[in-house]
Protein backbone atom coordinates (compact mmCIF):
# COMPACT_ATOMS: atom_id res chain seq x y z
CA UNK A 1 0.00 0.00 0.00
CA UNK A 2 1.42 3.35 -1.02
CA UNK A 3 1.98 5.79 1.84
CA UNK A 4 -0.32 8.81 1.92
CA UNK A 5 1.11 10.81 4.80
CA UNK A 6 4.50 11.35 3.17
CA UNK A 7 2.83 12.72 0.05
CA UNK A 8 0.91 15.10 2.28
CA UNK A 9 4.08 16.09 4.15
CA UNK A 10 5.69 16.96 0.84
CA UNK A 11 2.76 19.30 0.18
CA UNK A 12 3.12 20.79 3.67
CA UNK A 13 6.82 21.41 3.04
CA UNK A 14 5.97 23.10 -0.26
CA UNK A 15 3.51 25.42 1.52
CA UNK A 16 6.01 26.17 4.30
CA UNK A 17 9.17 26.81 2.27
CA UNK A 18 10.03 30.15 3.91
CA UNK A 19 9.03 32.27 6.88
CA UNK A 20 10.02 35.86 7.59
CA UNK A 21 11.51 36.98 10.89
CA UNK A 22 9.00 39.30 12.53
CA UNK A 23 10.32 39.09 16.09
CA UNK A 24 12.88 41.66 17.28
CA UNK A 25 15.28 41.29 20.20
CA UNK A 26 15.81 44.95 21.06
CA UNK A 27 18.52 44.28 23.64
CA UNK A 28 20.85 42.41 21.25
CA UNK A 29 19.52 43.93 18.04
CA UNK A 30 18.62 40.83 16.03
CA UNK A 31 15.46 39.45 14.43
CA UNK A 32 14.00 35.97 14.83
CA UNK A 33 11.09 33.76 13.75
CA UNK A 34 8.30 33.88 16.32
CA UNK A 35 6.65 30.68 17.45
CA UNK A 36 3.20 32.20 16.78
CA UNK A 37 4.03 32.95 13.13
CA UNK A 38 5.52 29.51 12.53
CA UNK A 39 2.66 27.59 14.20
CA UNK A 40 0.05 29.57 12.28
CA UNK A 41 1.73 28.81 8.96
CA UNK A 42 2.36 25.11 9.67
CA UNK A 43 -1.01 24.48 11.32
CA UNK A 44 -2.85 26.02 8.36
CA UNK A 45 -1.01 23.72 5.94
CA UNK A 46 -1.60 20.63 8.11
CA UNK A 47 -5.31 21.30 8.60
CA UNK A 48 -5.86 21.81 4.86
CA UNK A 49 -4.54 18.27 4.34
CA UNK A 50 -6.47 16.81 7.29
CA UNK A 51 -3.40 16.11 9.42
CA UNK A 52 -3.92 16.34 13.19
CA UNK A 53 -1.13 16.72 15.74
CA UNK A 54 -0.41 15.58 19.29
CA UNK A 55 2.62 16.53 21.39
CA UNK A 56 4.47 14.55 24.07
CA UNK A 57 6.98 16.40 26.22
CA UNK A 58 10.12 14.91 27.78
CA UNK A 59 11.96 16.94 30.43
CA UNK A 60 15.67 16.38 29.87
CA UNK A 61 17.06 18.78 32.47
CA UNK A 62 15.94 21.38 35.00
CA UNK A 63 18.49 23.31 37.03
CA UNK A 64 19.19 26.62 38.75
CA UNK A 65 21.64 29.05 37.11
CA UNK A 66 23.11 32.38 38.19
CA UNK A 67 22.50 35.46 36.04
CA UNK A 68 24.96 38.28 35.36
CA UNK A 69 23.22 40.31 38.07
CA UNK A 70 23.64 37.54 40.63
CA UNK A 71 20.02 36.39 40.56
CA UNK A 72 18.93 32.76 40.38
CA UNK A 73 16.94 31.55 37.34
CA UNK A 74 15.52 28.19 36.36
CA UNK A 75 16.93 26.66 33.13
CA UNK A 76 14.90 23.86 31.52
CA UNK A 77 15.76 21.64 28.55
CA UNK A 78 12.91 19.85 26.81
CA UNK A 79 12.56 17.28 24.03
CA UNK A 80 9.26 17.54 22.16
CA UNK A 81 7.78 14.61 20.22
CA UNK A 82 5.25 15.98 17.72
CA UNK A 83 3.13 13.24 16.15
CA UNK A 84 1.38 14.00 12.85
CA UNK A 85 -1.75 11.88 12.31
CA UNK A 86 -3.23 11.53 8.82
CA UNK A 87 -7.00 11.47 9.40
CA UNK A 88 -7.59 9.74 6.04
CA UNK A 89 -5.01 6.93 6.04
CA UNK A 90 -4.50 6.61 9.84
CA UNK A 91 -0.73 6.82 9.25
CA UNK A 92 1.46 8.82 11.60
CA UNK A 93 4.91 10.38 11.66
CA UNK A 94 6.83 11.67 14.69
CA UNK A 95 8.92 14.86 14.59
CA UNK A 96 11.32 15.70 17.41
CA UNK A 97 12.95 18.90 18.60
CA UNK A 98 15.00 20.07 21.59
CA UNK A 99 14.68 23.49 23.22
CA UNK A 100 15.86 25.33 26.33
CA UNK A 101 14.11 28.03 28.33
CA UNK A 102 15.26 30.25 31.19
CA UNK A 103 13.06 32.25 33.56
CA UNK A 104 13.21 33.73 37.02
CA UNK A 105 9.70 32.51 37.88
CA UNK A 106 7.78 29.45 36.70
CA UNK A 107 7.93 29.83 32.91
CA UNK A 108 11.25 28.10 32.13
CA UNK A 109 9.59 24.80 31.16
CA UNK A 110 6.94 26.55 29.05
CA UNK A 111 9.60 28.54 27.19
CA UNK A 112 11.57 25.35 26.56
CA UNK A 113 8.44 23.57 25.30
CA UNK A 114 7.72 26.40 22.86
CA UNK A 115 11.28 26.36 21.53
CA UNK A 116 11.34 22.56 21.18
CA UNK A 117 8.08 22.43 19.20
CA UNK A 118 9.16 25.38 17.06
CA UNK A 119 12.44 23.75 16.04
CA UNK A 120 10.83 20.33 15.56
CA UNK A 121 8.73 21.87 12.80
CA UNK A 122 11.42 24.16 11.36
CA UNK A 123 14.07 21.44 11.04
CA UNK A 124 11.79 18.56 10.00
CA UNK A 125 9.90 20.59 7.39
CA UNK A 126 13.06 22.41 6.19
CA UNK A 127 11.55 25.86 6.74
CA UNK A 128 13.98 28.50 5.46
CA UNK A 129 14.44 31.71 7.46
CA UNK A 130 16.90 33.55 5.22
CA UNK A 131 20.04 33.18 7.33
CA UNK A 132 22.96 30.76 7.42
CA UNK A 133 25.20 30.59 10.52
CA UNK A 134 28.19 29.64 8.34
CA UNK A 135 27.78 32.71 6.11
CA UNK A 136 29.10 35.17 8.69
CA UNK A 137 31.49 37.60 7.04
CA UNK A 138 32.04 39.44 10.34
CA UNK A 139 33.50 36.33 11.97
CA UNK A 140 35.65 35.68 8.88
CA UNK A 141 36.94 39.25 8.95
CA UNK A 142 37.82 38.99 12.65
CA UNK A 143 39.71 35.73 12.10
CA UNK A 144 41.58 37.15 9.08
CA UNK A 145 42.68 40.28 10.95
CA UNK A 146 43.16 38.60 14.31
CA UNK A 147 45.69 39.74 16.86
CA UNK A 148 48.11 37.38 18.65
CA UNK A 149 45.59 37.07 21.48
CA UNK A 150 42.93 35.92 19.00
CA UNK A 151 45.31 33.41 17.40
CA UNK A 152 46.17 32.03 20.83
CA UNK A 153 42.47 31.74 21.59
CA UNK A 154 41.72 29.94 18.33
CA UNK A 155 44.47 27.41 19.02
CA UNK A 156 43.07 26.55 22.44
CA UNK A 157 39.59 25.57 21.20
CA UNK A 158 36.87 26.52 23.70
CA UNK A 159 39.20 26.90 26.69
CA UNK A 160 38.64 30.26 28.38
CA UNK A 161 41.89 31.91 29.39
CA UNK A 162 43.07 35.27 30.62
CA UNK A 163 44.81 37.52 28.07
CA UNK A 164 48.27 38.64 29.14
CA UNK A 165 48.35 41.97 30.86
CA UNK A 166 44.60 42.08 31.32
CA UNK A 167 43.07 44.09 34.10
CA UNK A 168 40.69 42.70 36.69
CA UNK A 169 37.64 43.73 34.62
CA UNK A 170 38.94 41.88 31.53
CA UNK A 171 39.71 38.45 32.98
CA UNK A 172 38.05 36.52 30.13
CA UNK A 173 38.09 36.51 26.34
CA UNK A 174 35.42 35.94 23.71
CA UNK A 175 35.51 32.43 22.23
CA UNK A 176 34.73 33.86 18.75
CA UNK A 177 36.99 36.89 18.32
CA UNK A 178 39.32 36.79 21.34
CA UNK A 179 38.31 40.22 22.62
CA UNK A 180 38.66 40.70 26.36
CA UNK A 181 35.32 40.71 28.19
CA UNK A 182 34.29 41.49 31.75
CA UNK A 183 33.27 38.85 34.26
CA UNK A 184 29.66 40.06 34.09
CA UNK A 185 29.52 39.71 30.31
CA UNK A 186 31.23 36.32 30.61
CA UNK A 187 28.67 35.07 33.14
CA UNK A 188 25.71 36.46 31.18
CA UNK A 189 26.95 34.88 27.94
CA UNK A 190 27.47 31.45 29.48
CA UNK A 191 23.98 31.49 30.97
CA UNK A 192 22.26 32.68 27.78
CA UNK A 193 24.44 31.36 24.92
CA UNK A 194 26.33 28.43 26.44
CA UNK A 195 29.76 29.94 25.65
CA UNK A 196 31.89 33.01 26.39
CA UNK A 197 30.98 35.76 23.90
CA UNK A 198 31.50 39.51 23.77
CA UNK A 199 28.45 41.75 23.24
CA UNK A 200 29.11 42.05 19.51
CA UNK A 201 29.48 38.29 18.97
CA UNK A 202 26.32 37.61 21.00
CA UNK A 203 24.39 39.30 18.17
CA UNK A 204 25.58 36.59 15.79
CA UNK A 205 24.49 33.69 17.99
CA UNK A 206 21.16 32.21 19.07
CA UNK A 207 20.26 32.20 22.73
CA UNK A 208 19.90 28.84 24.41
CA UNK A 209 16.97 30.16 26.41
Provide the β-strand partners of residue 31.
Answer: 24
- Quick one: 10 and 80 in the same domain? yes
- Quick one: 13 and 91 in the same domain? yes
Query: How confident is the model at residue 100, as a pLDDT?
Result: 95
The answer as to whether 157 is a domain residue is: yes
Q: Which one of 79, 97, 124 terminates a domain?
A: 124
Please report which helix (H) or strand (E) contains residue 73, including its range. Answer: strand 72-86
The answer as to whether 207 is a domain residue is: no
Q: How many domains does the chain have?
A: 2
How far apart CA 172 and CA 32 sit, in angstroms, is: 29
Say if residues 36 and 118 touch (Cβ distance below 8 Å). no
Q: In this structure, what is the dihedral angle of CA atoms 47, 48, 50, 56, given to the nearest 10 degrees?
A: -30
* Pairing label, strands 51-66, 30-32: unpaired
How many Cα neighbours within 13 Å face the side chain of 139?
16
Provide the β-strand partners of residue 165.
Answer: none
How far apart CA 122 and CA 21 sit, in angstroms, is: 13
Say if residues 69 and 78 touch (Cβ distance below 8 Å). no
Query: How confident is the model at residue 96, as a pLDDT?
Result: 97
How far apart CA 127 and CA 9 sit, in angstroms, is: 13
Query: How confident is the model at residue 134, as a pLDDT?
Result: 54
Mean pLDDT in order along the chain per 10 residues (209 residues)? 86 96 83 93 97 97 91 95 97 96 93 96 93 53 40 38 39 68 75 77 68
- Quick one: 53 and 112 in the same domain? yes
- Quick one: 103 and 28 in the same domain? yes
Query: How confident is the model at residue 114, as a pLDDT?
Result: 95
For residue 159, the enclosing domain spans: 137-202
Query: How confident is the model at residue 127, as a pLDDT?
Result: 95
Query: How confident is the model at residue 208, as a pLDDT?
Result: 62
Vertex 192 angle, CA 188 and 197, to 5°: 60
Vertex 205 angle, CA 137 and 18, to 5°: 80
Please report which helix (H) or strand (E) contains residue 83, including its range. Answer: strand 72-86
Q: In this structure, what is the dihedral angle of CA atoms 143, 145, 148, 151, given to the nearest 10 degrees?
A: 20
Percentage of the chain beyond pLDDT 90 is 52
**What predicted TM-score, i.e. pTM, was given to this entire model?**
0.61
Residue 54 backbone phi and psi in degrees, to 5: -135, 150
The answer as to whether 131 is a domain residue is: no
The answer as to whether 129 is a domain residue is: no
Query: How confident is the model at residue 178, as a pLDDT?
Result: 67
76 DSSP assignment: E
Amino acid sequence: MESTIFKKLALVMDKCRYIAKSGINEFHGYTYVTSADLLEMVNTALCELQIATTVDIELLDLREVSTAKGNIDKLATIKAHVTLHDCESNESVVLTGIGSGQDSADKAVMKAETAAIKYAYMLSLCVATGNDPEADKFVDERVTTSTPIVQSKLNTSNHVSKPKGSSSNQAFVCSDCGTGITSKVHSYSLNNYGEALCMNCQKQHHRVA
